[in-house]
C-alpha cells in the first residue's frame, strides 16, 4: 500500500482540484483521505455518503462547577491566558481563551474545576459518488488539535484501504506548514506539492519543501497557472532542479478549475479535453517515481 500526499504551501493553488482529478483517474484503485480538516472542501466534489461516524474528542478545557466554587478568585489571578472571568458574581471559563494547561485545576482549593476532554468534531467513513471509499472529518469552529485529527483520518483511511484491498491512499493535505501538514506527511511515501508562479507561491514552495525533506520523502511538484507569470515559473523550475524535485506537470491557467468546483465535478467530468490526458500523464510521471 502506498500513500501519496498532496499539499501546497498556501491556499488557493488548486490543490483540491488536482487531488480530485487524480482520484478520478484511479477511482478503482484508491482510498481518499481528506486531511484538510480545518477547511475541508473535497466533499463538495466527491459528495460522500457517510456509512459511519464517530465523535472525536481531543484537548482539554477547564470547567468551573459554580455550585462548588467559593469565588475566591485564585483561578482568575493565576490564569496566564486571562481565560477566567467574573460574570453575574460567579467565576466562569471563557472556553475560546482557555489553553487547557490545567493550572487552575491544580490550584483550586475546593476542587471546583474539572478539565474534561472536548468533543471537537466528527470523523466519518464514506462512499463517494465515484465509488471511492473516503475517510474525512469535520472540526468544530475554533477547535484546535487538528494535527491529531489528521492522524486519525489517515489511520482510518489505511484501515479502509486494507479492508477494500486498495493499493493507494490519496491524501488531500492542508495548506501551509503547520501541525496538520506535518501530520499529513507522517508515514507517506510520496508528496506532491501544488504551487503557482507568484512570489508568495515560490516562497511557500521553499518552506513546504523544507518540511517534506525532513521526512526524507520523495517529492514532485505541479505548477498550476504556469503561464500566468513565466519569470517566476522559471525561477520555480530552477528551484525544483536544484533540489532534485520532479516537475510532474505545468498546468495552464484555466477557468475550468472554477467551473468544475461550482458544478461539484472533477476537472475531467467538466471538460474531458484536455484534462484526461494531462492527469494521465501526471500519474505516469508520478508512478515512475514511486
Ligand atoms: S479557584 Fe476554585 S473556588 Fe476559587 S474562584 Fe476559581 S473555581 Fe472558584
Ligand atoms: S486550564 Fe489553564 S488556560 Fe484554562 S482556564 Fe485554567 S489556567 Fe487558564
Q: Residue 248 in contact with residue 285, Cβ under 8 Å?
A: yes
Question: 81 C-alpha to center of ligand 1: Å?
Answer: 16
What confidence score (pLDDT) does residue 144 get? 67
DSSP bridge pairs for 32: 134, 170
- Same domain as 161, residue 141: yes
Instruction: Tell me which residue of 157, 160, 200 sits closest to 172, measured CA to CA.
Output: 157
Q: Is the pLDDT of residue 276 over 80?
A: yes
Per-residue pLDDT at 145 exceeds 70: no
Single pTM value for the model: 0.85
Check residue 178 and give its pLDDT: 81
Total structural domains in the chain? 2
Quick one: pLDDT at residue 251?
Answer: 97
Ligand 2 geometric centre to CA of 240 (Å): 45
Quick one: 40 and 103 in the same domain? Answer: no
Answer yes or no: are the C-beta atoms of 184 and 150 closer than 8 Å: yes
Give the whole-angstrom CA distance, residue 5 versus residue 171.
Answer: 5
C-alpha cell at position 100: 487547557
What is the arithmetic mean of pLDDT over 29-36? 94
Whether 261 has a pLDDT exceeding 70, the answer reads yes
Bridge-based pairing of strands 113-114 and 117-127 is unpaired
- Indicate if the pLDDT at residue 38 is higher than 70: yes
CATH of the domain at 97: 3.30.70.20
- Whether 146 shows a pLDDT value over 80: the answer reads no
Task: Flag whether pLDDT at 139 surpasses 90.
Answer: no
Pocket of ligand 1 (CB under 6 A): 64, 69-75, 91, 108, 110, 112-113
Q: Based on the domain organization, do 252 and 129 belong to the same domain? A: yes
- What DSSP letter does each residue of 251-280 carry, written as one string? PPP-THHHHHHHHT--HHHH-HHHHHHHHH
C-alpha of residue 106 to centroid of ligand 1, in Å:
11
Question: Is residue 134 predicted with pLDDT exceeding 80?
Answer: yes
Statement to judge: residues 12 and 67 lie in one domain = no
User: Alpha-carbon distance 190 to 215, whole Å?
Assistant: 10
Give the pLDDT confidence score for residue 227 in this predicted structure. 96
31 and 102 housed in the same domain: no
**pLDDT (0 to 100) of residue 259:** 96
Do 199 and 172 sit in the same domain of this protein?
yes
Q: Which domain holds residue 67?
A: 62-115
127 and 187 in a single domain? The answer is: yes
Predicted local distance difference test score (pLDDT) of residue 52: 95
59 touches ligand 2 (CB under 6 Å): no
Q: Is the pLDDT of residue 280 over 70?
A: yes
Amino acid at each position: 500500500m502506498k500513500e501519496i500526499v498532496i499539499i501546497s504551501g498556501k491556499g488557493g493553488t488548486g490543490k483540491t482540484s488536482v487531488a480530485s482529478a487524480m482520484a478520478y483517474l484511479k477511482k478503482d484503485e484508491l482510498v481518499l483521505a481528506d486531511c484538510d480538516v480545518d477547511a475541508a472542501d473535497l466533499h463538495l466534489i466527491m459528495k460522500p455518503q457517510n456509512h459511519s461516524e464517530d465523535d472525536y474528542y481531543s484537548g482539554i478545557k477547564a470547567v468551573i462547577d459554580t455550585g462548588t466554587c467559593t469565588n475566591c478568585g485564585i483561578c482568575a489571578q493565576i490564569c496566564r491566558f486571562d481565560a477566567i472571568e467574573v460574570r453575574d458574581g460567579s467565576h466562569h471559563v471563557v472556553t475560546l481563551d482557555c489553553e487547557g494547561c490545567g493550572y487552575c485545576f491544580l490550584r483550586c482549593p475546593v476542587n471546583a474545576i474539572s478539565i474534561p476532554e472536548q468533543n471537537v468534531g466528527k470523523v466519518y467513513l464514506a462512499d463517494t459518488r465515484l465509488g471511492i471509499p473516503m475517510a474525512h472529518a469535520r472540526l468544530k469552529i475554533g477547535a484546535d488539535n487538528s494535527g491529531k485529527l489528521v492522524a486519525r483520518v489517515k489511520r482510518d483511511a489505511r484501515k479502509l484501504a486494507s479492508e477494500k484491498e486498495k493499493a493507494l491512499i490519496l491524501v488531500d493535505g492542508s495548506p501551509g506548514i503547520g501541525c496538520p501538514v506535518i501530520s499529513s506527511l507522517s508515514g507517506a511515501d510520496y508528496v506532491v506539492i501544488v504551487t503557482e508562479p507568484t512570489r508568495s507561491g515560490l516562497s511557500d514552495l521553499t518552506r513546504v519543501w523544507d518540511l517534506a525533506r525532513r521526512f526524507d520523502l520523495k517529492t514532485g511538484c505541479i505548477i498550476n497557472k504556469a503561464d500566468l507569470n513565466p519569470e517566476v515559473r522559471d525561477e520555480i523550475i530552477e528551484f525544483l532542479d536544484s533540489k532534485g524535485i520532479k516537475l510532474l506537470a505545468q498546468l495552464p491557467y484555466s477557468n475550468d478549475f472554477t467551473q468544475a468546483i461550482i458544478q461539484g465535478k472533477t476537472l475531467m467530468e467538466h471538460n474531458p479535453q484536455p484534462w484526461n490526458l494531462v492527469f494521465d500523464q501526471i500519474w505516469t510521471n508520478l508512478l515512475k517515481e514511486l
